[in-house]
Structures are given as structure tokens and as C-alpha cells.
Amino acid sequence: MATPTSPPADLPEPGSLGETFDVYEVEVTDDGARYYGELEGAREAVEQRLATEFRDRGYRVRLARETGEHVLVATERSTTVEGIPWLNVVLFLATVATTMFAGTQWYGYGLDAGALRLLSAWPFAVAVLSVLAIHEFGHYVASRYHDVEATLPYFIPVPTALGTLGAIIRMKGHIPDREALFDIGVAGPLAGLVATVVVTAIGVSLPPIDVSNAGGLAYATQYELGYPPLIQVVAAALGEPLQYSDPGLAVNPVLVGGWVGAFVTFLNLLPVGQLDGAHVSRAVLGERVELLRYVLPLVLFGLAAALVVFADGQAVGIWILWGLLTLVFGRAGTATPLDDSPVDWRRKAVGALTLVLGLLCFTPVPIVVTV
């Protein structure tokens, strides 16, 4: 067999990869190298074993099969943002537009209200976008701290009552250990919870809006929000109401941003797939967390059934949808760190506290259509 071409000096030599991946050819690329070889063992296990060595040298790897050959693709890792992330910028600006439009409906403005009147709905957009952005930047900062590649947030603009389906960041490569997996997973919900409390406090302290002349136009007259314990505690601590006896008054739309933060936090802390709760639970419990992928859908479907019996089916569609989504997310599996050593007791305590706070963001009937 011919001797494989040598890779760049900062990459492992073909013979050092061991018998599990017997390299017979190396192709040097602009940002790394491609190792062609014979695979001995499960693909995921081999990739996990080799990823640590490459990561220590500043590369990420993925094992693929192309035209009948096994290929280990090594590319340079970089945690910096190079150039202007135009896709992130465009999606953010589009989400600003859709949340501003949604805000006009919460305030009860018609599209004929004039540009300045429509722009005055900016507090709603700021409230919703801030809780989402702070949540995602919590993940981003923790990723940078642990030298894990991550994109800036991608906001998802949708012309709905909220104007968005949220935001996501995408991590590249492998997570080095359980500590990094825990810190990255928990940072988003904790940062988002702080933002949620602040936005909620501002929202309940602002004066209510008058929707008596909006007819059926205002979203406040079309939707009834169910407030979880976290929001109720903040409102009670400030001595502010969440409902008004006067049917012509509605809570300030900024409070909707707090509701979004609480609802997003609870959903993200579901321990399945690639959700934050799965990262936290996987870091704390190890591989035992896989059992939850079978239990969680049953819990959500059971919740939907209970709402049919005891709440006239209110919000039942939300939990059926999320029951189905958890089935899909569960098939994708959870993140597997390169070093599977257990986390310390302090992270376990923070994890337990975070999951308890997540439960304070839960309400069985989060939203009801009233028209």
C-alpha cells in the first residue's frame, strides 16, 4: 500500500489515528485535510475518539461516507465572527419588522393609524426581542468561554401574534466535556430568566392600555394569556394587577414580552433532543437522560388529555404539537461530550435550581383564543 500524503504539520500523522481508522490517503485542503481510510468500529464511536486529538490541535472533524469511502474531514476551528454575518442581520431586521407589526395589533392600532403611531409600538418589539436575544447570547458567551464554535443568533420572523418563532444559535464541532455542555446549556435559560423578570417588572409597572375603542382589532381582545407562577410572583411583589375589572383596559403589551420569556424558557428546558434542558440533564445524569425521550411525550399527551377533560380542551393543541415535536427531537439524540466525566456537585445544584425555575414558567393553559 502506498504511503499516504503527509497532512499539514499541525495535524496528526495518518499512522497516529490507530487501527480503528486505517488511513490510506490524505488530501490537503485550504482549511485542513481529508483522511480516507478503512473504518473499524461504529462511526460515532470512532469520530468521538478522534475528535479530541484534532480539537486539541485547533480542528473539528466529522466522519462521512462519500462514494463508498470513509472520509474523516478536518477543518480549522474558529470562535470568532469573520466579516459581517449578513444572514443574521437580515433575519434580525425582518424580525424587528414582524414584531413591530404584531405590536401594533396588541396596542390596537389600525394600519391606517399613520407611521408615527405604528412606530410607537416599539416597546413591544423591544420587550420580545430582548428576552430572546439575551437567552441566545447567554449560550453564545458560554460557548466562547469553553472555546466551542457557535454562530450568532438567527432570529425567526413570522407574521404571527408575537411576530417571531424565537431565535437559535448553531454550535459546530464537538463539546469538549460535560462541564462545557452544562454551562452552555444552562447559560441561556438563566440569562433569559433574568431578562424575563426585568421585562415583566417593567410591563406590570407600565399603565394599562385602553382597548375599548379598538373593537376586535386589538390582540388583547382576541387572546387571553395564562400567566405562570413566575410572572404572578413578580406582579404580586410589585403590587400590580395582571387583569383589570374594566373590560376596556388591558395589561401593557410590554408584559407580553415577559410572558414570551417565561414560555420560551419552559419549552427550552424540556429534557429532550438538542433543547437546553437536554444539555443540562445530559451533563448531570449522563446517558440515563435517554430514558426521558420516551417519558416526556407521554407526559405532554397526558397533559393534553387532562385539558380535554378538565379545561374544555383549552390549549390542548399546544401540548399535542409539543408532544409530537418531542418525539421528533428525541430521535435526533442528545449531545455527547468528548470527555464524559461527571460534573461537580455545584453544577448539579445549579441544574436542579434551573429546572425548578423552569417549572415556575409553566402554566397548563398558556394562551386561549377568545374570539
Whether residue 2 lies inside any domain: the answer is no
Q: To 10 degrees, the CA torsion angle through 183, 186, 187, 189?
A: 170
Give, for 93, the enclosing helix (H) or strand (E).
Answer: helix 86-107
| 9 pLDDT higher than 90 | no
Give one DSSP letter per residue of 46-64, joined into a string. Answer: HHHHHHHHHHHTTEEEEEE
Give one DSSP letter per residue of 312-343, joined into a string. Answer: TTTTHHHHHHHHHHHHHHHHH-----SB-PPP
Residue pLDDT, tens place only, 275-314: 999 999 999 988 888 888 889 999 999 999 999 999 888 9
Same domain, 323 and 232: yes
- Can you tell me the mean pLDDT for 136-149? 93
| pLDDT confidence bin for 51, thresholds 50/70/90 | confident
What is the CB-side half-sphere exposure of residue 90 using CA atoms within 13 A?
Answer: 4
Same domain, 227 and 363: yes
Same domain, 278 and 208: yes
Choice between 82 and 338, residue whose per-residue pLDDT is larger? 338
End-to-end Cα separation, the chain, in angstroms:
75
Q: Residue 115 has what pLDDT?
A: 67
Same domain, 43 and 133: no
- Here the cell at position 78 is 474558529
Same domain, 115 and 71: no
Q: 368 has which bridge partners?
A: 224
Same domain, 41 and 133: no
Whether residue 108 lies inside any domain: the answer is yes
* Backbone φ, ψ for residue 363 (5° rounding): -140, 135
Same domain, 225 and 321: yes
Cβ-contact 238, 198 below 8 angstroms: no
Whether residue 6 lies inside any domain: the answer is no
Same domain, 214 and 250: yes
| pLDDT confidence bin for 222, thresholds 50/70/90 | confident
Give me the count of residues in the chain: 371
Q: 352-355: list long-range contacts, CB under 8 Å, 24+ apart.
A: 354/186, 354/189, 354/190, 354/269, 354/280, 355/269, 355/277, 355/280, 355/281
Same domain, 72 and 105: no
Q: Residue 110 has what pLDDT?
A: 66
What whole-number distance in Å separates Cα of residue 96 and Cα of residue 136?
A: 16
Same domain, 363 and 277: yes
Whether residue 9 lies inside any domain: the answer is no
Task: Report strand pairing: 209-210 vs 154-157.
Answer: unpaired
What whole-number distance in Å separates Cα of residue 16 and Cα of residue 357?
A: 47
Cβ-contact 250, 211 below 8 angstroms: yes
> Which residues constitute the domain of residue 163?
100-369
Question: Domain count of the chain?
Answer: 2
Q: Residue 334 has what pLDDT?
A: 83
Sequence letter at residue 137: F
Question: H helices then E strands: how many in the chain?
Answer: 11, 10
Same domain, 144 and 37: no
| 257 pLDDT higher than 80 | yes
Whether residue 183 lies inside any domain: the answer is yes
Whether residue 84 lies inside any domain: the answer is no
What whole-number distance in Å separates Cα of residue 25 and Cα of residue 40?
A: 16
Residue pLDDT, tens place only, 313-356: 899 999 999 999 999 988 877 888 989 899 999 999 999 999 99
Whether residue 269 lies inside any domain: the answer is yes
Sequence letter at residue 154: Y
Same domain, 30 and 142: no
Helix 254-268 vs helix 345-359: crossing angle, to nearest 10: 130
Closest to 283 (Cα-Cα) out of 187, 178, 170, 205: 178
- Can you tell me the mean pLDDT for 15-22? 79
Whether residue 82 lies inside any domain: the answer is no
Closest to 152 (Cα-Cα) out of 163, 166, 136: 136
| 215 pLDDT higher than 60 | no
Q: Residue 112 has what pLDDT?
A: 63
Burial 194-208 (b: 16+ CB within 10 A, else e): ebbbbbbbbbbeeeb
